[in-house]
């Protein structure tokens, strides 16, 4: 079931949902990695935005 975009609270702003394509796409474009890499990072490190940003930066540094 898709998120109800009319409900505008910010309870999960610190998480990235691998189930929501728009969240994965946004995070990928923001960090300069592919959506597949985002999903792999979520599987490996969980969905904390702070952790994912740190790991994405490290991943880009290796490339």
The pLDDT assigned to 1 comes to 52
Give the mean pLDDT of the chain.
88
pLDDT band at 62 (very low <50, low <70, confident <90, very high): confident
pLDDT band at 56 (very low <50, low <70, confident <90, very high): very high
DSSP for residue 63 = -
Which tops the pLDDT comparison, 9 or 38?
38
Tens-place pLDDT, residues 1-26: 566 667 666 667 889 999 999 999 99
- Enter the pTM of the model: 0.78
Note the residue count of the chain: 63
CA 12 to chain centre: 12
């Amino acid at each position: 079931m898709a998120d109800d975009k009319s409900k505008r609270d910010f309870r999960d702003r610190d998480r990235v949902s691998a189930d929501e394509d728009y969240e994965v796409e946004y995070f990928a474009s923001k960090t300069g990695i592919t959506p597949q890499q985002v999903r792999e990072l979520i599987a490996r490190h969980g969905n904390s935005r702070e952790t994912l940003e740190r790991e994405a930066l490290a991943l880009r540094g290796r490339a």
